[in-house]
Amino acid sequence: MKLLTKSFFLLWAASIISCSSPNIKLSYDFDKGSLGEITEVEPGYFKGTTKHWLKRDSIGDQYYWFYFKADNVKEKTVTFDLNDLTGVYRGNTHIVYSDYTQPVYSYDQEHWERIRNVKYDSASQSFQFSQHFNSEPVWIAYAHPYPTHRLESVINRINTSEFVRIENIAKTKEGRDVTLVKITDSKAPENDKIIILILALQHAGEDAGGFMAEGLIDFLISDDAEAIVARKNFNYIIVPMMNPDGIYNGTSRYNMNMEDLNNVWLNDDKVQPEVSGVKNWVESWYADGNEIDLFFDIHNHSQFYRYNVFVLQDQSLDSLATVMDKHWPIRNWHSEFKGSSCAYFFRKEIPSGTIELSQSHLANGKYLTIEDYLSFGKGTVVALNEYYIDGAQ
């Protein structure tokens, strides 16, 4: 009888243990993953910080990007309380979180939803967000992530198109390729074509630019009538991921030499392979008797601003910004952006601008999605058709 009672007790205890909820596990050892020190201070409540990335010259501290995986969260409400959310940009205090910052989560790393239960405390520079999860595992990020393997899939998918030519123009510190994509109809006369050069993802945490570049590429090789017009009249030259090392390591902004690529274009003391690769390609392009008619660089201004902006070096492209706004929501600013890619090309007397996408929502309250960013790429092609071909300049 005592043996039976003891056996029953052991079985009962084992059932209690097996039914108890396992601890939530966080990890970020994957493409674009990043997280600082964070601790589960009580069940379902995590407190800590994002990873701070320090610029090599010590006047930069970029902190905002996070992207991690959470296991054992099914049917649980989990809260994350992030602090130490102040950085340094060009020697000045840098703040990008706000009370309308909404991170994203996904159960498959493809389909993403916004986390809407958020709270930002400007006095303490802390940001809290909570979400109930119906499945597991779940991936959580500051904004829609664009990892290096997504671009690899795009390149593999478009490589067989008759309109596409692909070159690797540089190797990063960690040995990754910086890839250049040319899209045009090679049967149309080359001498009459308008040359458009586009860069994206110089900064690792500005992922919406990757989706916009992808949308632009996919539209250009499509059977759409506007795409056919574009291929016959334009030569699109696109570097869709300038900073693959920073993207892979989730650095918020820098490459793995801890340099801000968009600050070194006019500084020969800060030579970086990614930028040198583009410069060398441009010099070779010109040496072969070619020109560039328009340059723009796609960035994001985090989740702090609520609009898309075309930042221009002067007033010469104001009318292009107006045409673009007819096809996707964007306004224009004027700024010199000294030392940037735009400043570099502007000095070469090439009309230049920087597109800054919102990673949050627009003034009308609509939070942007991956589908929105992809559509901005299409809208840009249609706008450039109207501007150059239809004479809307």
Residue 234 lies in a domain: yes
Residues 163 and 136 in one domain: no
Question: b vs e for 149-177, b when ≥16 Cβ sit within 10 Å of the residue's Cβ?
Answer: ebbeebbeebeeeebbeeeebbebeeebb
pLDDT tens readout for residues 272-286: 999 999 999 999 999
Residues 6+ apart with CB under 8 A from 245: 172, 173, 174, 176, 251, 255, 256
Residues 170 and 55 in one domain: no
Q: Which helix (H) or strand (E) holds 194?
A: strand 194-200
The arithmetic mean of pLDDT across residues 123-142, rounded, is: 97
| pLDDT tens, residue by residue, 146-191 | 999 999 999 999 999 999 999 999 999 999 999 999 999 999 998 8
CA–CA separation, 213 and 154 (whole Å): 11
125 with 196, same domain: the answer is no
Phi/psi of residue 154, nearest 5 degrees: -60, -50
Q: What is the mean pLDDT of residues 229-251?
A: 98
175 belongs to a structural domain: yes
Last residue of a domain, one of 141, 172, 192: 141
Task: Say which residue the tokens 């701070």 belong to.
Answer: 52
Domain assignment present for residue 15? The answer is no
Distance CA 35, CA 64 (A): 10
pTM, two decimals, is: 0.94
Last residue of a domain, one of 96, 112, 141: 141
Asked if the bond preceding 22 is cis, omega within 30° of 0, the reply is no
Residues 188 and 56 in one domain: no
89 beta partners:
92
Tokens of 321: 């910004």
What does the pLDDT look like over 7-66, one tens digit per residue? 444 444 444 444 567 999 999 999 999 999 999 999 999 999 999 999 999 899 999 999
Same domain, 258 and 352: yes
86 with 58, same domain? yes
pLDDT one-digit tens code per residue, 71-120: 999 999 999 999 999 999 988 999 999 999 999 999 999 999 999 999 99
Tokens 């996919």 sit on residue = 218
What are the tokens at 253?
């902004």
The domain that contains 81 carries what CATH number? 2.60.40.3120
Phi-psi region of 21 (alpha: psi -120 to 50; beta: other; left: phi over 0): beta
Regarding whether 364 and 226 lie in a shared domain, the answer is: yes
DSSP lists the bridge partners of residue 93 as 88
Mean pLDDT, the chain, whole residue set = 93
- Confirm whether 31 is domain-assigned: yes
Q: What is the CATH number of the domain that holds 251?
A: 3.40.630.10
* Residue 158 covered by a domain: yes
- Give yes or no: residues 123 and 167 share one domain: no
pLDDT given at position 392: 63
Task: Please check whether residues 120 and 195 belong to one and the same domain.
Answer: no
Note down the domain range covering 61. Answer: 22-141
Residue where a domain stops, chosen among 141, 171, 203: 141
- For the chain, how many structural domains are there in total? 2
178 Rama class: left (phi>0) / alpha (psi -120 to 50) / beta: beta
* Same domain as 88, residue 132: yes
The two three-digit tokens of residue 194, written as one number = 């308008």
Strand pairing class (117-121; 126-133): antiparallel
Residue 356 pLDDT > 80 = yes
Please indicate, yes or no, whether residues 117 and 158 belong to a single structural domain of this protein.
no
Task: Give residues with Cβ within 8 angstroms of 321, minimum separation 6.
Answer: 310, 312, 330, 331, 332, 353
Which pLDDT tens digit goes with each residue over 217-233? 999 999 999 999 999 99
Helix (H, G, I), strand (E, B) or coil at 186: coil
Note whether 132 and 214 are same-domain residues.
no
Nearest-angstrom CA–CA distance, 257 and 268: 15
User: What's the pLDDT tens digit per position in 250-279?
Assistant: 999 999 999 999 999 998 888 999 999 999
Do 185 and 227 touch, CB atoms closer than 8 A?
Answer: no
CB contact at 8 A, 320 and 382 = no
